[in-house]
Amino acid sequence: MTPTGTTFAVGAQGAFMRFDGTQWKAAVVSKPMGQPKELGYPQLRAVAAIADDDVWMAGDYGALFHFDGKTVTSLELDGRFDFIGLWGAAKDDVWLVAKQGSVFHFDGSTWSESFAGDREIVSFWATSSDDIYTLSKAVNSSSTPPRLLHFDGSAWTARPMKGDIEADPHDFVAVSAAVRGQPWIASTGAVYRGDANGNFRSQLSVPHDAVRDLVVVGKDDAWYVDYGWAVQISSGEMASPSKRLSLGPNGSVWAFGDGGWIHSTQDLSDPVKNVTPPIPDTPDEFKLPTRCNARGDTLACVGDKVRSYRRVPGASSEVSLLSNDDPGYGDYVRVNAHGDIAHVSASWVTLRARDGAERNLAVATAKLDDLQLLDDGSMLAIDGKGTIRRAAPGAAMFADVAPWPSTVAAGPSLDSGTVHRPDGNTVWVTNQYTDPQGHWHLLVRDPKGAVVDDALLSGALATATVTTSGTVILATFNQQQGSIVQRRGGTSDDLSLPAPNSGVAGQGKTLLAASGEDIYYVPVTFDDPVSGTRLYRLHDGTASRVILPLQEVYGLYPQPDGVFVQSAQGSTLFVPAWN
């Protein structure tokens, strides 16, 4: 960040971005002179902004650039080096760090090597020209302890690493400091605070070996990256999805995530908020899939327990734990706008009101394929036999509303029943079935069981959703046409949405969900690991897209003002509606 408040960021594929306090503007840096031709745009890993017209950028294969406010110039230093750190105090005092162990200094006219080491530098931090740290590890030797070097303005010297840190078996990943002589160090499993004598005391430890970065923001506090999220040590507050951190003004921290996400911890009105804390890995025999549902300000999830969370501006908190502490493998939850939660198991539905009142309803007959809890307190369900069932507000059991239509020659496909709720009290019921000729159909009924559509599908149905007005959106696949997303009765290109497997090598599950007449759509849950997950919104006939910092998405739960996006890694984001 420059003295005028302008912030610069760099990233993959030559990305070079400038933030003027209101918006980010992006440019692309061309291939540097020393980089192999086949690599294309450079991987940029470091930036130092001395002024708006004096910005340095560096990255792999000796990539080094300077921006003078108008033009980016490539400089050839040494293609053998991969640069991981940059810091500048003035136009004639800039420091550059290479992963291979060397540190370079720019005096305003010439770059020179200040230090040449034989270890791999994993982290670099500078608070002034006479207070610089590097943290390095031995190459090809896991038993050699890490080395902390310090530059005092005249010489580089090794600093001791004593105390709690000596017994840490993890890889060390970051060094940071805010007070002279008091560096902090992070391993993948812990964060340590050091003193002037080299004694390091543990500040926290994590059980899942997932710490990736660290930034100290004061004498007694720091932010670190854990399980892909920025976490503040003093408060435990979680901010944006993150891979790297950088110090900002007034004790704030910039968090950088996959897919180009950049957020400041000073501004909690970020486009994407974390709603549920990441769930650490557990042994497979103890791990249940986490299924969530959301409405209004309430998100409920069932995994090893049933939990609910409240969405509030800038934060969230776990607010309740249902009395059923032993969910089954196929259990799921549903929520209405009042914060009431229905926990659906094979034999029972446990309904808990927001005020804590709780009651149980016996399923009694066939297992429920799906259920929705409506804002009026009633529940509408579809069971495995295709029977629509309803529980009135306050009822102790479900009543049959309509059986599977006798006019349909075949019964419903296994586990295909879905109750769609595009708004608070509008519901549609769908089932798949196969006719005697072997063709796939999607049967759509209203809440009373009347058939409103019997769609002959052009291929296997990946997923479907229904809007408030009853418009059906289908994602199908067949060998002749491939993947298609289309409006029922429309053509494959009338929605301006890409096919489910468009631009992606792998095949994952497609997600579609309606909110009113709007459609939210994720082409594939296993998306490109570099670009992140593409989330589309179809509004007033126009599709637009954002990139989420996730590589695997488990569910979409639309709201009037946006959509909850659940990742398979155990966290849920709320993404406000965009234009």
pLDDT of residue 128: 92
Cβ atoms of 346 and 381 within 8 Å: the answer is no
User: Measured between alpha carbons, how far is residue 62 from residues 23, 65, 241, 267, 326 in Å?
Assistant: 30, 10, 29, 35, 56
**From CA 357, how far away is CA 322, in angstroms rounded?**
10
Would you state the structure tokens that stand for residue 475, as one six-digit string?
């994602």
Q: Tell which residue, 273, 220, 223, 271, has the closest CA to residue 245.
A: 223
What is residue 62's predicted lDDT score, i.e. its pLDDT?
87
Kindly give the pairing relationship between strand 162-163 and strand 199-205. Answer: parallel
119 vs 302: CA distance, rounded Å: 47
| Residues of the chain with confidence (pLDDT) below 70 | 13, 20-24, 26-41, 142, 208, 227-228, 237-242, 249-251, 257-290, 312-326, 364-365, 459-462, 477-483, 489-496, 498-509, 524-532, 549-551, 568-571, 579
Locate 257 and state its tokens: 């995530």
Give the angle subtended at the CA of 353 by the CAs of 348 and 357, to the nearest 5°.
85
Euclidean distance between CA atoms 148 and 158, whole angstroms: 6
Residue 340 zone, left/alpha/beta (φ > 0; ψ -120 to 50; rest): beta
End-to-end, the C-alpha distance of the chain in Å comes to 29
Strand order in the sheet with 451-456: 418-420, 428-434, 440-445, 451-456
Residue type, 106: F
**pLDDT on residue 28:** 58
CA 554 vs CA 145, 175, 565: distances in Å: 41, 35, 8
- List, for residues 302-346, the tens digit of each pLDDT value: 877 787 877 765 445 555 555 555 677 788 999 999 989 999 988
Q: What are phi and psi of 320, to 5 degrees?
A: -160, 160
pTM assigned to the model: 0.55
Domains by residue range for the chain, with CATH:
1-117 (2.130.10.10)
Structure tokens at 337: 């706008």
Q: Please, what is the Cα angle at 492 between 488 and 495, to 5 degrees?
A: 75
Nearest to 89 by CA among 74, 111, 106, 112: 106
| Rounded (10°) CA dihedral 383, 389, 390, 391 | -60
* The predicted structure's pLDDT at residue 288: 43
* Strands 418-420, 399-402: pairing kind: unpaired
CB 556 within 8 A of CB 565: yes
- What residue type is 172 in one-letter code? F
d(CA 371, CA 363) in angstroms, rounded, equals 11
Asked if 222 and 295 count as a contact pair (C-beta separation under 8 A), the reply is no
Q: Is 117 helix (H, G, I), strand (E, B) or coil?
A: coil
How confident is the model over 434-478, as pLDDT tens digits?
A: 988 888 899 999 999 999 999 888 766 668 999 999 999 888 766
Alpha-carbon distance of 373 to 342, in angstroms, equals 7
**DSSP bridge pairs for 566:** 555, 572
Side-chain-side CA neighbours of residue 21 (13 Å): 6
The closest alpha carbon to 239, from 343, 316, 126, belongs to 316
Cα–Cα distance for residue pair 8/48, rounded to 1 Å: 8
Alpha-carbon span 283 to 208, nearest angstrom: 11
